[in-house]
């Protein structure tokens, strides 16, 4: 996953766009995958919170979006292996 500058408006727009492209169904898959892999209570809870805001990233802070996208990237990489 690329490193995003949380103070750069362009990077924030890219992050929000990536977040908004994830559907409710995909969030459920990520949550189930996270629970199966036992990646931690906080990580599962942040994925659940993100799923409630699917498609409306403007209500999440840049730090949370960055955290969630890094978890999604990690889960995708684990799934490919």
Helix 62-80 and helix 24-37: axis angle, to 10°?
70
The pTM of this model reads 0.88
The two tokens of residue 1 are 């996953």
Q: Are 28 and 48 within 8 A, CB to CB? A: no
Please write the tens of the pLDDT for every residue from 3-60. Answer: 888 899 999 999 999 999 999 999 999 999 999 999 999 999 999 999 999 989 889 9
> What pLDDT does 1 receive?
64
């Amino acid at each position: 996953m690329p490193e995003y500058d949380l103070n750069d408006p362009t990077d924030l727009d890219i992050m929000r766009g990536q977040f908004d492209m994830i559907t409710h169904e995909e969030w459920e898959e990520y949550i189930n995958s996270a629970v199966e892999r036992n990646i931690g209570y906080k990580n599962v809870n942040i994925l659940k919170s993100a799923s409630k805001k699917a498609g409306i990233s403007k209500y999440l802070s840049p730090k949370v979006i960055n955290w969630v996208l890094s978890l999604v990237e990690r889960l995708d990489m684990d799934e490919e292996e």
